[in-house]
Amino acid sequence: MARLCLVVADAARARIYSITAAEGDRRRGVQFIERADLVNLERQRELEVDRRFAVDIGAATRAAVHAAGTGRVVLIASSSMLGPLRRTLGLDRAITVEQYALDLTRLTTPELHTRLTELGVLPAPVRAAG
């Protein structure tokens, strides 16, 4: 089983998932578990608030990595949030972090799975035989 922690964030919202994908057995598919859904309610005071929100996302990410027992984090964030997030993740050096400067926060979980498949992060969804 391949496990990873997925962070999808912009300055206003962050969703954190743990994802388990069956290696070599596409019939078992991919399981998304949402670990956190954070909303930045103080978006008006932009820069300092973005930094504090990034600290909150970093803490929630560390908790999700620990809970999922994963060694891989996929960080997908708007370009304005990517830098602050990189500085606040505070992950162990043994954790692999992949980064994408994209804003995918408005996608549903199935849409997110499709986009991650297009990026090569996850295997394609299994289609029901019919």
Q: Find the helix or strand (DSSP H, E) in which 59 lies.
A: helix 46-68
Task: Give me the domains of the chain, ranges plus CATH numbers.
Answer: 2-110 (3.30.420.60)
Mean pLDDT within 90-101: 87
> Which residues touch 53 (CB under 8 Å, ≥6 apart)?
11, 14, 38, 40
Q: pLDDT tens digits, residue range 52-71?
A: 888 999 999 999 888 888 88
Bridge partner list, 72: 96
User: Would you give the DSSP letter of residue 84?
Assistant: H
> What's the whole-model pTM score?
0.67
How many C-beta atoms surround the C-beta of residue 14 within 10 A? 25
Place of tokens 């954070």: 38
How much is the mean pLDDT over the chain? 82
Model pLDDT, residue 27: 55
Q: Binning pLDDT at 50, 70 and 90, where does residue 2 land?
A: low
